[in-house]
Amino acid sequence: MVIILGLVFILVYGLIVFYIGWSGWRWIKPAVSGRFRLVYITTLIFLALSLILSRVVAGSTVLSVIGSYWLALFSLLAMLLPLVHLMIWLTKLTRLPRHAVQKWSGVLTLIVLIALLGYGSFNAYSPVVRSYDIHIDKPGPETGELHIVMASDMHFGYLSGKAHAERMVEEINALKPDIVLLPGDIVDDDIVPYKDKGIGGILAEIKAPLGVFASLGNHDRFKGETEELIALLEEGGLQVLYDETIEVGGGLTLVGRKDYSDPDRASLAELMADVDRSGPVILLEHQPVEFGVAEEQGINLMLSGHTHRGQIAPGNLVTDRLFENDWGYLQKGQMHSVVSSGFGFWGPPIRIGSRAEVVSIHVHFQSSDS
């Protein structure tokens, strides 16, 4: 079954690549010689394979960058070109010269593509702060409040690198949090750029009195042992909760789960067996799943990422159908859910219909009202 799905994916991908290549060739053909065709086809094949090659040739910065930007071009052109061809077809009902329509439709497509790439890059590299105020009907810290700053899905790698990490630390420290929580996808399937760019040392500059805690996501995987990644992250001052619980100041309990894709992860009931539920319990769950289970087990606040809010529209329509809460805030009984669109990005450094963000959560407890 997996082989059949793989073959179907390759077939569909190949057909879309052919469609993009054919559309581009029809536009540029009048301006180039026929001998350019081989160069054009070779370049298109290389681009189509670049994302796969970047995963095969681990550690290749050039292939990773080319593959990521190809994925952006592929995604945008797969959406734009059908609209352009529909527009061209409709012009046949008019007396507009066909040659001029073909020429200017190509120019218009190029302009829109460049504009979307620029806008998407701005959204990816210019994070905003999303703020939420929630109330938990349990006694908490003596102050009656807790300021949590959350960031997810950094995907630190070749394109979400040193500068992006420094930007995140600056944003977090400016908010003066009590505690910082990072629910997964800290690296992007490869720890080489994380180490080479010194990102651990940058994250060590995060200032939070109660500490910095993280769980792992589906992309926190690489060709090595998970223990190596955890040790590397903890060198940078992060305390990784890998199917673990810990009690921090004011009777607050943190629960950090393995990713939902991990077949070896413990059930939430097992993790909660020895937890004092009279105090507030916060769950770091990378993927926003099993809300009913979390509510049943007495979780008060569940922090997630993973969805990227679709990253490139209309992907947000898909994530909205897949997840009960794919972005933002949702209350389910006594449980509050906050899902971040993420600080980084997967694949292309492009966000259209979503924005890179740091999440600021002011939690008010029972004691603050007494």
Interval 301-348: pLDDT, tens: 999 999 999 999 999 999 999 999 999 999 999 999 999 999 999 989
Q: Is 48 helix (H, G, I), strand (E, B) or coil?
A: helix
DSSP state letters, 162-183: HHHHHHHHHHHHHH--SEEEEE
- Residue 95 token pair: 């007396």
Do the beta carbons of residue 157 and residue 197 sit within 8 Å? no
pLDDT of 169 reads: 97
118: tokens are: 């620029």
Nearest Cα to Cα of residue 310 among 10, 12, 75, 111: 75
The per-residue DSSP string of 239-305 comes to EE-SSEEEEEGGGEEEEEPPPTT-TTPPPHHHHHTT--TTS-EEEE-SS---HHHHHHTT-SEEEE-
Pairwise CA distance, residues 304 & 184, whole Å: 8
Task: Say yes or no to pLDDT of 250 above 50.
Answer: yes
- Mean predicted confidence (pLDDT) in 129-141: 93
Coarse DSSP helix, strand, coil percentages of the chain, rounded to the nearest 5 percent: 45, 20, 35
CB distance 303 to 150 below 8 Å = yes
Q: Are strands 212-215 and 179-183 parallel, antiparallel or unpaired?
A: parallel
Q: pLDDT grade, residue 231 (50/70/90)? A: very high
Percent of the chain scoring above 70 in pLDDT: 97
Average pLDDT value for residue range 246-263: 92
The C-alpha atoms of residue 293 and residue 297 are separated, in whole angstroms, by 6
Residue 242: its pLDDT value, please? Answer: 96
Banded pLDDT at 368 (limits 50, 70, 90): very low
Locate tokens 């190809």: which residue? 70
C-alpha–C-alpha distance, residues 55 and 71, integer Å: 13
Q: Which has the minimum average pLDDT: 29-43, 136-150, 189-203?
A: 29-43
pLDDT tens for 256-285 read 999 999 999 999 999 999 999 999 999 999
Domain ranges of the chain: 2-124, 129-369
> Residue 9 is inside which H or E element, if any?
helix 2-28
pLDDT of 245? 97
* Phi and psi, residue 215, nearest 5°: -115, 170
Reduce the DSSP state of residue 52 to 3 states and report it: helix
3-state secondary structure of 36: helix
Q: Which of 344, 366, 307, 369 lies closest to 123 in space, CA to CA?
A: 344
| Angle, CA of 239, 219 and 316, to the nearest 5° | 115
Residue whose tokens read 């600021």: 360
Element (H, E) at 338: strand 335-339
| DSSP-based three-state secondary structure for 363 | strand
Which residues does residue 281 pair with via DSSP β-bridges, in sequence order? 253
Taking a C-beta distance cutoff of 8 angstroms, is the pair 344, 303 a contact? Answer: no
What is the third-level CATH fold of 129-369?
Answer: Purple Acid Phosphatase; chain A, domain 2 (3.60.21)
Helix or strand or coil: residue 87? helix
Contacts of residues 165-173 at CB distance under 8 Å and 24 or more positions apart, as own/partner, are 165/197, 165/199, 165/202, 165/203, 166/202, 167/125, 167/127, 168/127, 168/343, 168/358, 169/202, 169/203, 169/205, 169/206, 171/127, 171/129, 171/358, 172/206, 172/208, 172/358, 173/205, 173/206, 173/207
User: In angstroms, rounded to a whole number, what is the distance separating the alpha carbons of residues 150 and 182?
Assistant: 6
**Stretch 231-257: mean pLDDT, rounded?**
93
**How do residues 178-190 score in pLDDT, each as one tens digit?**
999 999 999 988 8
pLDDT range class, residue 369, cuts 50, 70, 90: very low
Q: Kindly report the CA angle at 104 between 103 and 106, in degrees rounded to 5?
A: 70
